[in-house]
Amino acid sequence: MGPSGPPANAFIVVDGRRWRASDPHIPPNLRQELVNELMAARRAVRDADSEVAVRASRRRVSDAKVALGERGHAWWLPPDPVAMTRRLEATARALLRSRAPDRTICPSDVARVVGADAWRALLPVVRDHAVAMSERGELEILRRGQVVTEEPTRGVLRYRLAPGGGDRS
């Protein structure tokens, strides 16, 4: 493609079909965690025993693919605010689901997946989105192991799935 087209590593070909490649800027440990969540979510779709479980599992697949950059706004293009929101929130959900129910993630985990080398500048945005997700009952914001109610964007924070907020099929 021309100079404004996707980079050479934007797609992979499997059995003659072209698929969008994962964002190569995701740190390897976090990429592997997201790939593991994607595979677990696909198994959950296969093993679902109800339509509700199928829908929940498909949401997990979608979140993992958006987090990896394989779905949604193309990772090589400058993101618009809606695309940024979608990827940040999908990444938080996918990382949280990939961990044991009582485990947490750091805001920097989300920022590193989405922000590449500019992840530090993205931290305030991640924290703001976490507040919105907390208000919707998707996650809990913790400081020193306790759920935060005051100043939820300040200090050293961790995030965990809210009870019932995980769709862990």
Is 27 domain-assigned? yes
Is 58 domain-assigned? yes
- Residue 94 confidence (pLDDT) above 60: yes
Is 152 domain-assigned? yes
Is 67 domain-assigned? yes
CATH number of the domain enclosing 24: 1.10.10.10
Q: How many domains does the chain have?
A: 1
- Across the range 2-29, mean pLDDT stands at 91
Alpha-carbon gap, residue 45 to 169, rounded angstroms: 8
Is 167 domain-assigned? no
- Across the range 33-55, mean pLDDT stands at 97
* Domain carrying residue 153: 11-161
The pLDDT value recorded for residue 2 is: 46
pTM of the model: 0.93
Is 81 domain-assigned? yes
CA distances from 41 to 55, 73, 152, 166, 169 (A): 11, 21, 30, 12, 8
The pLDDT value recorded for residue 16 is: 95
Of residues 168 and 76, more confidence is placed in 76
